[in-house]
Copies of this chain bind each other. A is one copy, B any other.
């Protein structure tokens, strides 16, 4: 006898909203019509009274495939049967579409954000799953995005000052979702473009992961999720340590001038000083391209030992010691920065 997925998934999603105190508010649910987003919509619809959620469905019609209109009609009809308000979006008529997945995603998110603004909705829910998470972590490992990339997809992300993207199904597997839809007798659309839309993503899903599972470790998905969680926790810990250090030691005096109090930083481990410096560059919106581990090492040496007295860094940024302070000057007049 197969165990019902219903209570488990329902309580996972309920827990997601309760732990973040999301209730008595408007939520836009991004629905493609595929299994994942239809499952998300169905679960949220069941929880909407309990959590006092005002649900609105947003479906973006990319108009890239012959079946796109059918998908839109399917979503509209599902919403109408369940009395859920639904908006269908289209690409702006003045945009010539290249059909790239990146462009599609940008257009979709832009439209969803506008819809959220229109409806004063603070939340946009999307249906990424644990399978998406595993594929993303593996993609990042293979592509080489470093430790930050290992964290994978976040369960929530601020899109702008008023709107936050949330992913309530990130702990659910695709198999659980499909089993639930079967259980509920709900039809869904199969995204034909899934097979070729994103070449790398699909080879990861259909070739690499099956190979890893069969030949190396049946539990490779769990191993990747665990690694992602560990990297996330390590990064969170660094961020928590870096924030007060920046407050104590760093003054952003203008867009081009930052002063670091080396006394406040000199006793810290080099790895933490580097995290502080990377964070300073990010906050100042200075280019980090061309900055290698060696450059950060030179700068941390300067903070620790006061020597050398001055160094030139890519950007271009000039770092100069002035008594116990390090002055960082970003030279916008240089051709190097202009060509950035």
Contacts and interface: CB of A to CB of B under 8 A. Distances in A.
A226 interface: yes
Interface residues of A, number: 41
A144 B218 CA distance: 11
A322 to B, nearest CB: 28
A247 interface: no
A241 B226 CA distance: 23
B212 A211 contact: no
A77 interface: no
Given A141-B223, A142-B220, A216-B208, A230 B270 contact: no
A146 interface: yes
B223 A143 contact: yes
Contacts of A144: 217, 219-220, 222-224, 226-227
B147 A216 contact: no
Interface stretch (A5-13, A61-69, A161-169, A232-240): A232-240
A220 B215 CA distance: 20
State the oligomeric state as a number of copies.
Answer: 2
A120 interface: no
Contacts of A116: none
A271 interface: yes
A275 to B, nearest CB: 8
A96 to B, nearest CB: 30
Given A142-B216, A207-B215, A216-B142, A241 B269 contact: yes
A190 interface: no
Interface in A173-231: 200, 203-204, 207-208, 211-212, 215-217, 219-220, 222-224, 226-227, 229-231
B146 A237 contact: no
A272 interface: yes
- In the A-B complex, the 4 residue pairs with the closest CB atoms: A144-B223, A237-B271, A240-B269, A147-B230
Given A144-B227, A240-B271, 14 more contacts: A141-B223, A142-B223, A144-B217, A144-B220, A144-B223, A146-B226, A203-B216, A204-B216, A208-B216, A211-B211, A234-B238, A237-B238, A237-B271, A240-B269
